[in-house]
A and B are shown apart, each in its own frame.
Chain A
């Protein structure tokens, strides 16, 4: 009964979305207040229905209702409760419902927080938001109904893919979707602005917090996924330039560009058309990301069953959304009034550079990810593009981004004094040279990674100096600095934190990608292997039993070369009998400067076990740096000026506020 109610709720949500897509739009066009405000009620109603459907599905999972086909093939009665819940989105159909739920949530948030948005803009935004919902709800209902029944019901379910039964991955999809779908707000605002023919500072002030929130979620989602790959796959790597990673990274790159160009629109009233285009592209890439992963075009852990009908629907939906919005952009963008002037060397100039480089970087990732698909479609050749491609293209493009990132925040608007800015960066230059020397004496080897460490130090110190300059650190009494820090806009703290966080993560990425060590060896109990100054001794392997799996657990004692005790590592090999599928649980001990990482393989049948040890320098820095970036974003988000819905559009004379025509 409950699954049928859930299905019905989804149908009702589609009906409401159609109404919400039409009525407020017509209302805004005719200036009819009642029709416009219908959008708000519809947005709330849509949220209620979609949430009803979502919780009905969750109910089926929690109670292990195997008469529902989706539950039967993705859950099992012996699964721990956490994974019964997360199974809801661990499959194609359920993840689509989660997508729509988040979309409805954001739509309702616009309706709720956007109280002082101009009514026509809000009505149009809600309508565009509803069009997206119509697309996704019909996709869900017509091609991937999560509530379909199965008869006769199986005695037990087929279990969630064991690799997904993990706390890190449990929350990776919702975070990622909050990011992807969050960009739909920027998209809806962009389309609404194109329809209105007006973009001003107030528009940017509404778009920025939504974009920033989506960006924080997306960052968290990507980091969670990367962290999961690091400890669960047992390959000792955290980023593989795998197509499914790339498709989440592309909207992140574009979203980062959007975040920065929206600042220029808000503060300087320039780059309007460009910002609109970025908003459209960011969300388009989010859509492509969702669908490439779901369509099974690329083989990966995320590729669920493929189905030609779904493929066509997806292609159609992508074509309409992306093509339609780009055509609208081409037609309407020239009508946007051009904004303030600036010199190439200025804050605006630096942000333009940031935007250009990020877009180009994104384009190279896009090409590397989709080139194999295109090539196969046109020539039938099957190829794959590996990490070396990205190291040769993406990495060189990011170098000037990082180098310029230290300069940008110090530049003044309109026209900046480059010599003055550079003289403030003497300290950063010193830090960079110091870091290069340290890296060279500690690691030596190839010169490029050593220089890259200098670049990370440059950015980190540059960000600190910039923040220090704002609060007059060490130039005024400490109490005075503290006072200034308290009154500094939160967004300034956020910028400094996010940039410094990126520097820390970058140092980790450079070190981990270049100076990693590994050893693979067969060990019998009592035997040892040495790696990077640590000695690993296999004590033994014992059998155990988890809730829905069996365990082989090895015990390794780690000591320094001198014999001083460091830690115990317990890597596991698990076997999930329902799918007869083994998984690897790496054991990781972090020293802060490096991770000691151990994985156990198969028994060799003569009392020995294959043991794989990695020495992963500075990997913890990647996680710490990313967290600092997210924290920077959140602090920025709490800025009064950015408070969602708080800013009121500056009163203008009616003539100036009228739709602009060029």
Chain B
């Protein structure tokens, strides 16, 4: 086998692999991206598709159901708010008045069914997406995001 032939084979093998990977990636990206919404623009979200909802946990809105595991609360950007229901253990830093990101789907009754409530690892930390949402609704009082 000549050097040129070998190089050709290697390039070909690389191309085949790469195009396979590109196909995989495109298919997977199409189905597995979850877009971020805030309570003001969640109405635009496609129904039934997993999305992320972020904002502040509204003060006084957290209600634990009788089964002890289901929790209802409201997520707000101080302009609009939306009901969220979640079944499971809440992260350590989940608190009223704190920033939160939830992942799930918006039901037909406009209640957001969260599959996951994302924990933030620092009590002063505000998720960047939430900070942006608050800025958008004109309710941002803090300094730079993440400070």
Contacts and interface: CB of A to CB of B under 8 A. Distances in A.
Most buried by A among B31, B34, B68, B88: B68
Contact of A520 (B10, B25, B89, B93): B89
Interface stretch (A275-283, A577-585, A617-625): A577-585
Interface in B45-103: 52, 64, 67-69, 87-90, 92-93, 103
Contacts of B64: 604
A388 B120 contact: no
Contacts of B14: 356
Contacts of B123: 579-581
Main SS of the interface on chain A? mixed
B29 A385 contact: yes
A305 B129 CA distance: 15
Contacts of A301: 121-122
A353 B10 CA distance: 9
Contact of A393 (B21, B33, B36, B147): B21
B33 A385 contact: yes
Interface in B126-147: 127-129, 132, 144-147
Contacts of B120: 299
Contacts of B132: 382
Interface residues on chain A, size class = 35 or more
10 contacts: A301-B121, A303-B125, A357-B17, A382-B35, A382-B129, A385-B29, A388-B28, A393-B28, A520-B87, A582-B93
Interface stretch (A7-15, A317-325, A339-347): A339-347
Given A233-B119, A356-B13, A364-B21, A388 B32 contact: yes
Interface of B: 1, 3, 6, 9-10, 13-14, 17-18, 21, 24-25, 27-29, 31-36, 52, 64, 67-69, 87-90, 92-93, 103, 119-123, 125, 127-129, 132, 144-147
B146 A343 contact: no
Given A301-B121, A389-B28, A522-B69, A584 B127 contact: no
Contacts of A357: 17
Given A356-B13, A580-B123, A601-B89, 20 more contacts: A234-B89, A299-B127, A299-B146, A306-B145, A341-B1, A382-B129, A383-B35, A384-B103, A385-B33, A386-B34, A393-B25, A393-B28, A520-B69, A520-B89, A521-B69, A582-B93, A583-B92, A601-B90, A602-B90, A608-B68
Contacts of B1: 341, 343
Interface in A345-378: 352-353, 356-357, 360, 363-364, 367-368, 371
A397 B28 CA distance: 13
A208 interface: no
Contact of A161 (B31, B119, B121, B147): B121
A576 B1 CA distance: 68
B69 to A, nearest CB: 5
B104 to A, nearest CB: 12
Nearest to A371: B29
A149 B75 CA distance: 40
Contacts of A608: 68
Given A388-B31, A582-B92, A382 B36 contact: yes
Given A384-B36, A386-B34, A522-B67, A306 B144 contact: yes
A583 to B, nearest CB: 6
A367 B32 CA distance: 13
B35 A389 contact: no
A567 interface: no
B146 A305 contact: yes
A239 to B, nearest CB: 15
Contacts of A305: 146-147
Interface string A179-217: 000000000000000000000000000000000000000
A389 B24 CA distance: 9
A396 B17 CA distance: 11
Interface string A499-542: 00000000000000000000011100000000000000000000
Nearest to A583: B92
Nearest to B9: A344
Nearest to A342: B6
Interface string A375-406: 00000011111101100110011000000000
Nearest to A579: B123
A338 interface: yes
Contacts of B32: 385-386, 388-389, 392
A352 B17 CA distance: 12
A610 B94 CA distance: 15
Given A360-B18, A382-B36, A520-B88, A299 B128 contact: yes
A599 interface: yes
A161 B21 contact: no
A638 to B, nearest CB: 33
Contacts of B125: 299, 303
A381 B45 CA distance: 12
A385 B36 CA distance: 11
A352 B121 contact: no
Interface string A266-302: 0000000000000000000000000000001001110
A612 interface: yes
